Amino acid sequence: MSDSPAAQDRSSMNESTQRNSASADEATETDGYEPRYLEQTVPHHADSIRKASFWTAIVLPFLYVPILLNGLTSWILSTAFLVLLGVNLVALYVGHYHRR
């Protein structure tokens, strides 16, 4: 005897739910915190460096405001803005795993 269309829909939904939960489990396994390069090179200072980078990444965007209000009219201001942006991106990357 063949299953009704509603039963087939339920069984296909259960299969897709199981596949989605399996891929979510795999994602959490790979997204979990793993010791990084910083912990391997300077294990005693890694936490302090991550903490400082985290807070630097939070504070640096406030320095964008005066530069942008002044305008990027000169090469000095443009260079300062790009350097500040680069430092902010590095701080975001390094401080990403602070308190994880």
Which range among 17-26, 34-43, 46-55 has the greatest average pLDDT?
Answer: 46-55
Average pLDDT, the chain: 77
Residue 69 above 90 pLDDT? yes
H-run or E-run covering 55:
helix 46-59
1 burial via Cβ count (<10 Å: 0-12, 13-18, 19+): exposed
Q: CA triplet 80, 54, 70: central angle to 5 degrees?
A: 25
3-state SS class at 36: coil
Looking at the whole model, is its pTM more than 0.85?
no
- Cα–Cα distance measured from residue 22 to residue 19, given in angstroms and rounded to the nearest whole number: 5
